[in-house]
Amino acid sequence: MNGDENSGSIQIINSDEHTDQHLFQHEIDTVEKITTENNDNCTNTAINDATSDNNSDNSYSQNSVIFYFKRLFTVALKTIKTPYFMLSAFVKAADYKVALGFIIIQSFLFAGSIASIFDSVNDLLSNVTPLFSSSLYSSATFSIMKSFFVTLISSILLMLIFASIIHIFVTLLMKTKATYKQMLCIASSKCIAQIPFTVVAFIVSMFSPVTALFIAGLGTLLGCFFVTSAIKGLNNASDNKVPYVAFLSFAVLAVITYALIKLILPVFLSSSLLSIKRGLY
């Protein structure tokens, strides 16, 4: 009897592992099948058209974009519902294209939030500085466009660096074979957690910049847990070493982020604000 019970337990465990490994691809295949059928229908219709070549190319391109965003939505939704299982499957699948999509989307949203916060600060300055001089306002405002693009590029760069940092600690501490594509998936899990919070922060930033930063911070906090769960999706990942890999990766990322902020801050600060900045360090 004990042998049968143990055998049944092993079957349940194997079933869970099988589900973990194939959940991601199953969801993607489902979306892909529906989209492929739509592509075939569009192509067959285009054959009978006098401009069939152009229509077919345009239809294929449009449906490919739609399919890609469906994949993003599917992964995000499944991750919110079942973080551990979906992130583990996501890492095993090493779908770096989807990972890059999350990184870019989060970077755009975060850059927009920062630009909105700076715009709110400029509005505040516009109500204060005229009491002194009009030249003070023009010399103490933030450049919105510069802040947006600098933040966008910096955010994407930081996530690519974050993937490399995780790769280093996974290799050193876990001694397990992993690809950079898998590291991109792990790093992007942080973005999956942050995206909903960043959307809310972007809206709130128009009214309360401080509250917006707090909300964005909550997304980063959840991202720490998502990254930890995603690391567990690596083959032969040691549960005892996962917390240390995550902690060290975020610690190094924080140091690099601080150094990058100091480096790029002068790009979109005026001379007056630069003088204030120098007095703070």
Quickly count: other Cβ atoms within 10 Å of residue 32's Cβ. 15
Q: How far is CA 53 from CA 35, 56, 73, in A?
A: 19, 5, 30
d(CA 22, CA 231): 17
Which tokens hold the place of 14?
């194997």
Whether the pLDDT of residue 14 is over 70: the answer is no
Quick: pLDDT tens for 86-99.
998 899 989 999 99
pLDDT greater at residue 276 or residue 83: 83
Q: How far is CA 75 from CA 39, 79, 87, 185, 189, in A?
A: 22, 6, 9, 11, 10
Quickly count: other Cβ atoms within 10 Å of residue 83's Cβ. 19
d(CA 57, CA 49): 13
Q: Over the chain, what is the mean pLDDT? A: 76
Quick: pLDDT tens for 109-148.
999 888 888 877 777 766 655 544 454 445 556 677 888 9
What per-residue confidence (pLDDT) applies to 113? 87
Question: pLDDT category, 235, cuts 50, 70, 90?
Answer: confident
Question: pLDDT category, 244, cuts 50, 70, 90?
Answer: very high
What per-residue confidence (pLDDT) applies to 225? 95
d(CA 101, CA 81): 20
What per-residue confidence (pLDDT) applies to 91? 92
d(CA 18, CA 31): 20
What per-residue confidence (pLDDT) applies to 236? 76
What per-residue confidence (pLDDT) applies to 11? 42
The three-class DSSP label of residue 239 is coil
The three-class DSSP label of residue 181 is helix
Quick: pLDDT tens for 186-208.
999 999 999 999 999 889 888 88
Question: pLDDT category, 39, cuts 50, 70, 90?
Answer: very low
Question: pLDDT category, 46, cuts 50, 70, 90?
Answer: very low
Which tokens hold the place of 69?
């965003």
Among the listed residues 46, 275, 272, 280, the one whose alpha carbon sits nearest the alpha carbon of residue 137: 272
d(CA 233, CA 241): 13
